[in-house]
Amino acid sequence: MVITPEKAKEMTADERNKIRVLEKSIDAALREGRLTFDSSLFSQRVRNEIVKMYENAGWSVRHVSDQRDGDYFQFSERGNQPYWDR
């Protein structure tokens, strides 16, 4: 069966599960005061969804792709100027 463009853009069940697990881990890290979180093991679609979710919840989120240090999310409270813009 040929997949439609709309179906191709939909999240898979595996991606939704990864988001739920990742959300719990990020929440725990943020509660501990850690504002960076490794994102190297996740697809672009999962990373985009995480950024959207946390920005909707009041965070500023920047995804950094760094071949030397690895990919990671950098969080800051919205309204506070992120350190990367200072």
Q: Which of 17, 75, 25, 61 is nearest to 43 (CA)?
A: 17
Long-range contacts of 2-11 (CB under 8 A, 24+ apart): 11/45, 11/49
Reported as a single tens digit per residue, the pLDDT across 59-69 is 999 989 888 87
Res 34: pLDDT: 93
Res 19: pLDDT: 93
State the amino acid at position 49 in one-letter form: E
> Which three-class secondary structure state does DSSP give residue 4?
coil
Q: What is the pLDDT along the chain (86 residues), one digit of tens a residue?
A: 788 888 888 888 899 999 999 999 999 999 999 999 988 888 888 999 999 999 999 999 998 988 887 889 999 988 765 555 54
Res 83: pLDDT: 52
Res 86: pLDDT: 46
